[in-house]
């Protein structure tokens, strides 16, 4: 059994059998980025069940996360974002690692636009 605190998650990338034929419904993967105070920590979880992925995704969606494919991103964690191209999408920086390197995630153009709308509404 595993517990991931959804309140500390700032982004998560789900790996499903559609993404990687070597994973199954009982051996999926999740890349999770956690708010660790001054830094963002990345952890990979192996052998995650389908229902665990779906439950976490639902909790994050209810918290207002923006979805880009199988990447879920907390708009409140965004430090800055830059659109690369309207067809390709953009890069979002959600913090810095312990070695001061930025944590950058690529999002689709649709998710980038939804993110900008949420961020603009939050600042108003």
**pLDDT tens digits for 56-115?**
999 999 999 999 999 999 999 999 888 887 778 899 999 999 999 999 999 999 998 888
**Between 83 and 11, whose confidence is greater?**
11
Would you say 115 and 94 are in contact if contact means Cβ atoms under 8 Å apart? no
pLDDT at 124 over 80: no
Tokens standing for 37?
């105070």
pLDDT at 122 over 80: no
Pairing of strands 39-48, 28-36: antiparallel
Residue 109 vs residues 12, 37, 112, 118: alpha-carbon distances, Å: 18, 29, 5, 14
Structural domain 9-123, CATH architecture: Beta Barrel (2.40)
What pLDDT is recorded for position 113?
Answer: 87
pLDDT at 120 over 80: no
pLDDT at 37 over 80: yes
Q: What percent of the chain has pLDDT over 90?
A: 65
For all residues of the chain together, what is the average pLDDT?
90
């Amino acid at each position: 059994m595993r517990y991931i605190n959804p309140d500390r998650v700032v982004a998560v990338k789900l790996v499903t059998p559609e993404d990687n034929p070597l994973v199954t419904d009982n051996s999926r993967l999740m890349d999770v980025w956690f708010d660790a105070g001054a830094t963002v920590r990345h952890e990979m979880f192996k052998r995650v069940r389908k229902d665990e992925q779906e439950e976490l995704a639902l909790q994050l969606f209810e918290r207002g996360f923006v979805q880009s494919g199988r990447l879920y991103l907390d708009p409140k964690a965004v430090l800055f974002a830059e659109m690369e191209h309207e067809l390709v999408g953009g890069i979002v920086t959600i913090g810095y690692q312990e070695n001061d390197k930025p944590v950058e995630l690529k999002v689709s153009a649709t998710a980038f636009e939804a993110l900008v709308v949420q961020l603009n509404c939050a600042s108003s």
